[in-house]
Amino acid sequence: MKKNFRFINIFFLAGLALSSCSKEDIDSVFTDGVAPTLSSSVNRVNLVPADSSKNVITFNWSDPNYQIDGEKSSHNVTYTLEIDSLGKNFAKPQRLTVTNAVNSLVNGKDFNRILANLGIADSARNYSLAIRLKAALYLPSTELVSNTLNLTVSPYSTEPIALYPVPDNLFIVGDATQGGWNNPVPVPTQKFTRLDKFTFGGIFQLTGGNKYLFLPTNGDWGHKYAVANAGAAGMREGGDFIVDSGQDIPAPLTSGFYKITVDFVKGKYTVTPVANSELPPASLYIVGDATGGGWNNPVPVPTQEFTQVSNGTFELSVPLNAGKKYLFLPQNGSWDHKFAIANADAPSVKLGGKLVADSGVDIPAPDEGGTYRISVEFINKTYKLTKL
């Protein structure tokens, strides 16, 4: 199909710096161009981790045969592959750009990343993609669009594999803890916070020289996490844990507050001393014009008072006004201390992010008003909002 394109050559300004050319507009006329034909080496891609560095698919296309003043031009042609889920009409496609080429090879790692960016992550499912090519010479007005290919794909999971099955909850028990060997243990103070799918964390007061264990079920001695050799070097600071056997874990020699992290992917725990200034608050409140109580301090309770649900984690369900702001306070009625954020313009802060203590700026409320469950954890000092 023949298309005519006319535009003012945008490169003439560069020529003025090199010669005494006139300032007249230099016109170039595109007299021909044919939409490229797109094809692929396969119509199904079942990705596996072993394919990460291998080319899993090749896209080929025909020359669009751009003509400038009757002469063929193959230079400065930009080709862009657009990849989207079938039925999404390329509303928000993933793009691969190639300059001056007639094919594109995609390896497994890059292709799997494209799928993940499209929200395609279940390795047990097959998904349908739509793929097309756009060619352009100099300006968007010269764009030519290819036919659309359909491709069946399945991604591979990039999640790590846990060394041991991950429990739903985790608790600490032992004479190194405030609750001693009593089981069930006191909660929420001796219940770990789940930091991610595979990791738990907590900040606990430990008695130096004593011992402890991890329990997946509070009140049950049927299962436990211990160590193979409590006398091995470095076990007071961390090491490998084992399941349902072994010896009690030795606490650090010095009494104090310690952050304990338990990683079920590596099968390891770490124990790190914590300064008093870094301890989680004993209580937590929300204040700000995003809330019903506004900036009045003290705030109304119990509606703006958080509930502690685990060691270092607080939760509250509260209505929030869109476009307003708020802060977290460890003590109701006092402005002496607060928890805010470093940058209100950072991505995603309206739905979660990192907290800073006694500095920073107010936290912006979500763009949509409504009731939100706010979870604040002080192990890594993060917060998260979920609309109810």
Render pLDDT for 49-105 as a digit per residue (tens, 0 to 9). Answer: 898 899 999 999 998 888 776 666 656 788 999 999 999 999 999 999 887 788 888
Which of helix, strand or coil describes residue 125?
coil
- For the chain, what is the mean pLDDT? 89
- Give me 102's structure tokens: 């007639």
Torsional sign, CA 116, 125, 263, 172: positive
* 388 in Cβ contact with 370 (< 8 Å): yes
The region of weakest confidence among 24-28, 171-175, 204-208, 215-219 is 24-28
Strand-strand pairing, 127-137 and 144-145: antiparallel
* 31 in Cβ contact with 4 (< 8 Å): yes
pLDDT mean over 304-333: 97
* 251 in Cβ contact with 200 (< 8 Å): no
pLDDT mean over 332-340: 97
* Model-wide pTM > 0.75: no
How does residue 30 score in pLDDT terms, banded at 50, 70 and 90? low
* 374 in Cβ contact with 384 (< 8 Å): yes
Torsional sign, CA 364, 367, 372, 378: negative
Alpha-helical regions (H) of 263-351? none
Residue 311 to residue 187: CA distance in whole angstroms: 8
How does residue 367 score in pLDDT terms, banded at 50, 70 and 90? very high
Which of helix, strand or coil describes residue 13?
helix
Greater model confidence, 105 or 273: 273
Interval 193-218: pLDDT, tens: 999 999 999 999 999 999 999 999 99
The region of weakest confidence among 98-107, 168-177, 318-327 is 98-107
Q: Which amino acid is at 84?
A: D
In Å, how far are 10, 136, 262 from 13, measured between CA atoms? Answer: 7, 21, 63
**pLDDT of 309 over the 90 cut:** yes
Greater model confidence, 5 or 135: 135
How does residue 10 score in pLDDT terms, banded at 50, 70 and 90? very low
Question: What's the pLDDT at 347?
Answer: 83
Question: What's the pLDDT at 358?
Answer: 95
* 229 in Cβ contact with 235 (< 8 Å): yes
